[in-house]
Amino acid sequence: MSETASELAFKARELDAGDELAGVRARFVLDEAVYLDGNSLGALPAAVPGRVEDVVRRQWGELRIRSWEESGWWTAPERIGDRIAPLIGAATGQIVVGDSTSVNVFKALVGAVRLARLAGGEARDEIVVDATTFPTDGYIAGSAARMTGCALRPVTPAEVPGALGDRTAAVLLNHVDYRTGRLHDLPGLTAAVHAAGAIAVWDLCHSAGALPVGLDEHGVDLAVGCTYKYLNGGPGSPAYLYVRDELQDRFDSPLPGWNSHADPFGMRPDYTPAAGAPRGRVGTPDILSMLALEAALEVWDGVSIESVRTKSLALTDLFLECVAQYVPAGRVESLTPVPHAERGSQVALRCADAGQVMERLIEQGVVGDFRHPDVLRFGFTPLYVGFADVERAAGVLAGILRGGGG
């Protein structure tokens, strides 16, 4: 081991020794691999298997239909939403859990256009969308535009302020870019959207559970996000929809269902939306995955999102430092911004043969992921990733890129 490598390995051990979140790792089911793919699928919280067994065997198996009341199934969407709320800077009563992120993007975006038109008239006929967004968001924005008679205007986040005008109805943005890990300016962009009289919709998939969001503080109108990344809810776990409190009585969901009716068991032919966050519900909640998510969120007991952010930045700082020292010059290029204010909780490296490199990394116990055509993505979940993990991952990457065994 070179002197630089020895110094960085020592630095990693020192950081681990002072890590206030180190003990949280024991709340997860993990092996010896360095798991840096929590930005795609979070690790399994240890409490989940037992909770799911109870839901299946006792609540469903024994109580059966009684569990809607006796086990709290009926109130789960709002109860779990309130559990997520402090992680994204929201007061209780503004989040409902259920459906997929895609479905919630559709609800939020069509609802946003309707809100804008209530305030500003039919002249609001344009939806602005992040041109670099995750593809599904773009697909849904296009569908929402067709449905509402709006023009779709894709621009980069940096171009958003200049693209806004009196025709803008809604703006859909990602808080963190899924390819590069770039953190966008939620407070500044939300203020610009509001100054134009439009409604701001934020996709929090790559920020919730990794960094403070501040939905209430910054006046965000609507937000959506998944729960299977940094919130560790499990594959396909239900997403959530945030509707700011003062907009709830005007939020008109394009997917009204019996579960969001003011009198759900009245089975009336006419629709009257429920008050508050429940009007974001649609059909019968997906109870098994929802209650698995509820158990998963227990790993956050006693953990502040601010401490997670502090560790996230330290982890990504160390990884970038190790990559710069270990990896042969010119072999990779970081796409992730260096300034903390512009960085999420992942590092993206451009690499000519990224697909093959990631395969070899996984074979050697470092799990990240690959994005076409040439991006290695590494997600850092501070609840269970340590500093020695980071130094080891950079060393294995360097070994592969030197043509060795890591």
Q: Considering 27, 51, 377, 392, which one is annotated as catalytic?
A: 377
Please list the residues that pair with 174 across neighbouring strands.
Answer: 203
The answer to whether 242 is a known catalytic residue is no
The answer to whether 203 is a known catalytic residue is yes
Strands 44-45 and 28-29: antiparallel
Residue pair 299/232 in contact by the 8 Å Cβ criterion: yes
Please list the residues that pair with 384 across neighbouring strands.
Answer: none
64 torsion bin: left (phi>0), alpha (psi -120 to 50), beta (else): left
The answer to whether 124 is a known catalytic residue is no
Picking from 337, 336, 343, 334, the residue whose alpha carbon sits closest to that of residue 310 is 343
Q: Considering 25, 107, 229, 343, which one is annotated as catalytic?
A: 229
DSSP 150-219: PEEEEE-GGGHHHH--TTEEEEEEESB-TTT-BBP-HHHHHHHHHHTT-EEEEE-TTTTTTS---TTTTT
Q: Considering 130, 203, 221, 286, which one is annotated as catalytic?
A: 203
Please list the residues that pair with 348 across neighbouring strands.
Answer: 377
Question: Rounded to an integer, what distance in angstroms lies between the CA atom of residue 243 and that of residue 278?
Answer: 10
Q: Considering 228, 230, 251, 326, which one is annotated as catalytic?
A: 228
Q: Considering 28, 35, 106, 134, which one is annotated as catalytic?
A: 134
17-25 contacts at long range (C-beta below 8 A, 24 or more positions apart)? 19/311, 19/386, 19/387, 20/307, 21/303, 21/307, 21/308, 21/311, 21/382, 21/383, 22/386, 24/299, 24/303, 24/383, 24/384, 25/383, 25/384, 25/386
Q: Which secondary-structure segment (H or E) carries 29? A: strand 28-29
3-state secondary structure of 333: strand
Question: Rounded to an integer, what distance in angstroms lies between the CA atom of residue 13 and that of residue 18?
Answer: 9
Active site residues: 134, 203, 228-229, 377
